[in-house]
């Protein structure tokens, strides 16, 4: 995969699953990466892979303080992103809603909804000051239709769709907020729900070869769109 111009991409959840695969493709294409995740070891591997093109910090996206510190340091280094991919996510263990604990429900929403809001809060102002950029929030098919036993996840992803749609109306011309459904991929999250049957789905590595150019092609014309990575 090649892209003509070097871009600065901020990516959350970059240490595993879709985020890790996407990070590798973006680096292969010659872009710069502002990455975060929970695993310091995996972040160190990314830094080794991309060298000076990777700025990585351990961050829990549920913490607005941690996200703001990561974003602030990146922007102070001249790494205001052209594209933000708010990818970090969490799913609940499958169960009827009444059997899901309040703690698990709150944690899913904290990562999937508040996590994206924290990222927007940190990166949108410097991007607006510069006058361009795309903020992509990871949605899901389960943010557009519901399924049993994943009610907390559905609630979080329906919220992402609404939040991104509202954000799109708030951004100035020349910028975009886009809700992106990745598709059904063999990740740890899918295995948490489907078990070994998830192995029949596409691998993150194969998915990322389509997804990376798809994300890079998002622009101002996509503001407010709810889209999916092509199958």
Residue 36 sits at the vertex; the CA angle it makes with 23 and 190, to the nearest 5 degrees, is: 65
**Which helix (H) or strand (E) element contains residue 136?**
strand 133-138
Kindly give the pairing relationship between strand 32-37 and strand 54-58.
parallel
Beta bridge partners, 175, equal 133
CA 22/CA 181 separation, integer angstroms? 14
Residue numbers annotated as active site: 153
Token reading at 105: 């429900």
What is the per-residue DSSP string for 200-223? GSBPHHHHHHHHHHHHHT--GGGT
Q: Distance between CA atoms of 9 and 22, rounded to whole angstroms?
A: 11
- Within 13 A of 36's CA, how many CA atoms are on the CB side? 26
- Summary count for the chain: helices (H), strands (E): 8, 7
CA atoms of 107 and 100, how far apart (whole Å): 11
């Amino acid at each position: 995969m090649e892209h003509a111009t070097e871009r600065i991409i901020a990516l959350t959840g970059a240490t595993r699953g879709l985020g890790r695969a996407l990070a590798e493709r973006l680096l292969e294409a010659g872009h710069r990466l502002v990455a975060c995740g929970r695993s310091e070891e995996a972040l160190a591997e990314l830094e080794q892979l991309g060298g000076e093109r990777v700025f990585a910090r351990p961050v829990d996206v549920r913490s607005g303080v941690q996200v703001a510190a990561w974003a602030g340091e990146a922007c102070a280094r001249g790494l205001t992103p052209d594209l933000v991919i708010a990818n970090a996510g969490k799913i609940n263990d499958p169960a009827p809603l009444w059997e899901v604990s309040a703690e698990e429900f709150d944690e899913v929403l904290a990562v999937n909804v508040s996590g994206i809001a924290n990222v927007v809060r940190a990166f949108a102002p410097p991007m607006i000051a510069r006058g361009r950029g795309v903020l992509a929030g990871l949605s899901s098919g389960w943010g557009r239709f519901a399924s049993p036993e994943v009610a907390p996840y559905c609630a979080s992803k329906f919220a992402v769709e609404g939040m991104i749609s509202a954000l799109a109306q708030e951004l100035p011309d020349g910028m975009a907020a886009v809700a992106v459904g990745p598709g059904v991929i063999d990740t740890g999250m899918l295995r948490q729900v489907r078990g070994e049957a998830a192995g029949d789905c596409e691998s993150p590595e194969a998915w990322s070869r389509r997804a990376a150019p798809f994300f890079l092609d998002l622009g101002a014309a996509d503001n407010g769109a709810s889209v999916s990575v092509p199958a």
